[in-house]
């Protein structure tokens, strides 16, 4: 195979591949129906011409038969008139018309067979067109369903690709890193502002309170020596008792403001 033949084959193969890829089943089927309809219309014209020729030949045959019958009637009329020569001429014309009628009959017979064949072909073509019209919708529905399934399959295949999930993983790591950096920046700002020292003292005070309270409770229960009890504030001095408090008035059965009865 020469170089030019190989190039030609390559070009044809690429063109065929491009055409096959660009074929739309719905458009192709519609175009096929249009072509079949055009063929039907052309065949119908041919059938109409054939039938017209058949009728013309039949009319010619019938006319010749009628002419033959007419010349035969004239020959009989000449014989009745005693003119045998005229009768012979009439019979000669009758035979000519009869032979012509047979020729027309042969042509008409062949034309009739051809017309019948064309009629059958036209009916068959009409049946195929009707069947194609019924199948077109079904084929188009199947084609669209197949295309939808192909699209879904391609979509699922792309979703099953690990690269998509790897991308999600990288994005999650970036978000985690951003959150960690933001938290570290906040802690650093808080430390530089002296907040860390204050937090340490607050924690120390919170831890001291419960410890002193626990020691005081243990001392109250006698579980610790009194010296171990925490000193909660400065010691309070004892207040001396008043005379009224120290020497209570005895109960004599009446109020202090009432006078004794003499």
pLDDT digit string, tens, across residues 119-139: 898 898 898 888 888 888 787
CA distance 168 to 175: 11
pLDDT confidence of residue 98 = 94
Say what the pTM is.
0.45
Radius of gyration, alpha carbons of the chain:
64
CA distance 256 to 262: 16
In a domain, 234, yes or no: no
User: How many domains does one find in the chain?
Assistant: 1
pLDDT confidence of residue 25 = 75
In a domain, 134, yes or no: yes
Structural domain for 70, as ranges: 26-148
CA distance 257 to 83: 198
**pLDDT above 80 for 167:** no
CA distance 90 to 73: 9
Record the tokens describing residue 44, joined without a space: 């119908």
In a domain, 212, yes or no: no
Record the tokens describing residue 79, joined without a space: 């014989």
User: How is residue 194 annotated by DSSP?
Assistant: T
CA distance 93 to 102: 14
Record the tokens describing residue 52, joined without a space: 């017209």
In a domain, 170, yes or no: no
Quick check: 43 and 154 in contact, CB under 8 A?
no
**pLDDT higher at 111 or 180:** 111
In a domain, 165, yes or no: no
CA distance 230 to 209: 11
In a domain, 226, yes or no: no
In a domain, 49, yes or no: yes
Quick check: 125 and 36 in contact, CB under 8 A?
yes
- DSSP 3-state percent helix, strand, coil across the chain (nearest 5): 80, 0, 20
Quick check: 118 and 46 in contact, CB under 8 A?
yes
In a domain, 162, yes or no: no
């Amino acid at each position: 195979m020469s170089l030019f033949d190989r190039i030609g084959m390559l070009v044809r193969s690429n063109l065929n591949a491009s055409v096959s890829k660009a074929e739309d089943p719905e458009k192709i089927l519609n175009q096929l129906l249009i072509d079949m309809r055009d063929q039907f219309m052309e065949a119908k014209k041919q059938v109409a011409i054939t039938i017209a020729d058949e009728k013309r030949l039949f009319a010619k045959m019938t006319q010749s038969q009628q002419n033959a019958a007419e010349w035969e009637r004239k020959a009989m009329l000449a014989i009745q008139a005693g003119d045998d020569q005229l009768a012979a001429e009439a019979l000669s014309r009758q035979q000519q018309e009869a032979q012509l009628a047979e020729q027309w009959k042969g042509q008409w017979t062949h034309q009739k067979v051809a017309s019948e064949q064309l009629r059958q072909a036209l009916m068959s073509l009409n049946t195929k067109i009707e069947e194609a019209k019924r199948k077109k919708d079904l084929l188009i529905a199947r084609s669209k369903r197949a295309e939808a399934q192909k699209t879904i399959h391609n979509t699922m295949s792309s979703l099953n690709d690990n690269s998509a999930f790897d991308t999600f993983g990288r994005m999650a790591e970036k978000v985690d890193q951003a959150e960690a950096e933001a938290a570290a920046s906040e802690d650093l700002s808080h430390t530089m502002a002296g907040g860390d020292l204050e937090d340490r003292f607050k924690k120390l005070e919170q831890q001291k309170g419960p410890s002193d309270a626990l020691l005081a409770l243990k001392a109250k229960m006698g579980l610790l020596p009194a010296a171990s009890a925490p000193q909660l504030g400065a010691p309070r001095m004892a207040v001396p008792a008043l005379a009224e408090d120290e020497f209570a008035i005895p109960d004599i059965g009446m109020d202090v403001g009432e006078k004794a009865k003499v």
